[in-house]
Structure 1
Amino acid sequence: MVKGVNICDVKVMNNPAPFLDPFSFEITFACHEDLPDDIEWKIIYVGSAESEKLDQTLDSVLVGPVPAGKHMFTLEVPGPDPSRIPDQDVVGVTIVLITCSYREKEFIRVGYYVSNSYKELELHENPPEKPKYELLERNVLSTNARVTRFAIDWGDSETITSGHVANGEQSTVNNEEAQKNLETDFEIQNKENNQQQSAVESANEKATGNAEKDAPSGIKDSVVETMDTSNAAAEAATA
């Protein structure tokens, strides 16, 4: 019997929005059987890819006990505290995470890239050393969620996993099949979106490489490279 909880849909509300505005998410999830204890939902803002110490838990909420079935709620949390973000990390791309835990064990997280930029062209091209928070716009890239599952004990011997057991060893084929069976349309669609994005980025890299190869020596240095998010930030989304 399938046990646990899976996320059916997440809608990012009020997006794009001013940098200092609250985040708002409409979350739909399915519970496969009655859960006697609370589920804890957290929203975490990654302040810098350089250190987890700069992550900010914007808020958390307990939902439960949870009966079997589909449920929906809206989670609105304050925006990040700018004083806790290094100036050089305010503008650009970062991550916001939605995590879900049962009995203090995280079993699923959804990560979104967040782009913070100035709407005014002059500020966009020449950003000030000290960020002007009130002029920044925040855009959550809502079509490219990264969904990660973790194995936990739901109160009996059965666990649901994303491909690895708690000690880091490879899980069994049966657990991998269980994971596939749990995937919702929300997860499948975002996985396809991410694969398409990766294909586009790969094509862009090849095109840029060919352009550099074919260009005369005096022009090679002027080839514009496509912007890429940092590897550290990408790892933070699925850590």
Structure 2
Amino acid sequence: MSAVNITNVTVLDNPAAFLNPFQFEISYECLTPLKDDLEWKLTYVGSAEDETYDQLLESVLVGPVNVGNYRFVLQADPPDPSKIREEDITGVTVLLLTCSYMGQEFIRVGYYVNNDYDDEQLREEPPPKVQIDRIQRNILADKPRVTKFPINFHPENSEDGGDQGEQQSSPPHHSAETINNEEEGNLQLPPSPSAAEDPSLDAIDSEPQPSPSVTA
């Protein structure tokens, strides 16, 4: 059983201009106190064929993690369009929200993102060079794809735990708001889009274990 469960993820400011910051309101519950912080990451998949185009938009440590319900807003800068091939700027791509504990990723939430021009004429007749200030992104917030990974939340209790759980200090540290008496919601996930609709999510999600306990 996981020591931490994400109970809700709300995508804020969506749809939005391509160059606007990303904002996610994340709610989660902790069932047992943890010694280290949780590390949240947001990654933009720049190409379904080449992961070298992926961009890590944000990485933050959130803690302390005691028993209870928590909520915080994760904000991240948009991807750098100069690091994306022009042919990949528009169309469908993937955004990955992940959470790790002591270097072990235990949940991944993937969202399809559709980038297109905000004007019908530009959509019908795209300019030769991408006009990034006219690109609008739309995160398909109602169709997340969730993958859970079993990890050891208490390696200090294992025989070979030792010092393996030393936390890296590079990401900034945030505090989450404690939620008192909040109703816990295990909201149902809608069916995941099929690979035939867009293969990019399957390309980066090699161990799919869909879970119905998280939603956007």
Q: Normalization by structure 2: what TM-score? A: 0.78
SS at match of 1:134: helix
2:191 alignment counterpart = 194
Match of 1:38 in 2: 37
Identity rate, percent: 46
1:101 is displaced (CA, Å) by: 0.3
Distance 1:108 1:234, change over 3 A: same
Structure 1 pair 3/229, CA: closer, same or farther in 2 (3 Å)? closer
Residue number in structure 2 paired with 1:58: 57
Is 1:185 the counterpart of 2:186 in the alignment? Answer: yes
**Distance in 1 of aligned mates of 2:2 and 2:150:** 12
Q: Check 1:229–1:132 CA distance in 2 against 1; reply closer, same or farther (3 A cut).
A: farther
3-state DSSP of counterpart to 1:185? coil
Q: Which runs of 5+ in 2 are unaligned?
A: 159-184, 207-216
* Structure 1 residue identity aligned to 2:191: N
Match of 2:205 in 1: 238
Judge conservation of contact 1:112–1:237 (CA < 8 Å) in 2: no
Paired with 1:104 and 1:236, the residues of 2 have a C-alpha distance of 22
> Post-superposition shift, 1:237?
5.4
Deviation at 1:126, TM superposition (A): 1.5
Deviation (angstroms), 1:128: 2.0
- In structure 2, C-alpha distance between the alignment counterparts of 1:48 and 1:3, rounded to whole Å: 32
* 2:164 aligned residue: none
d(CA) in 2 for partners of 1:43 and 1:70? 21
How well do the aligned residues superpose, as a CA RMSD in angstroms?
Answer: 1.9
Judge conservation of contact 1:5–1:30 (CA < 8 Å) in 2: yes
Higher radius of gyration, 1 or 2: 1
Aligned counterparts of 2:41 and 2:127: Cα–Cα separation in 1: 32
Distance in 2 separating the partners of 1:3 and 1:148: 13
Deviations 1:199-226 (A, max 9, x none): xx9xxxxxxxxxxxxxxxxxxxxxxxxx
Residues 106 and 229 of structure 1: CA distance in aligned 2, closer, same or farther (over 3 Å):
same
Cα distance, 1:3 vs structure 2:
4.1
Q: 1:3 to 1:93 in 2, by over 3 A?
A: closer
Structure 2 partner of 1:175: none
The one-letter code of the counterpart of 1:194 is P
Q: Is the 8 A contact 1:5 1:29 kept in 2?
A: yes
Residues paired across the two proteins, number:
179
The answer to whether the Cα contact below 8 Å between 1:95 and 1:236 also exists between their aligned partners in 2 is no
1:111 aligned partner: 110
Query: Distance between the aligned counterparts of 2:154 and 2:12, measured in 1?
Result: 34
Unmatched 5+ residue regions in structure 1?
A: 159-183, 202-227
2:88 paired residue number: 89
Length-normalised TM-score, structure 1: 0.70
**Residue pair 2:110, 2:201 contacting (<8 A) in 1 also:** no
Q: Could you tell me how far 1:6 is from its partner in structure 2?
A: 1.1
Q: Distance in 2 between matches of 1:155 and 1:50?
A: 36
Distance 1:78 1:68 in 2: 31
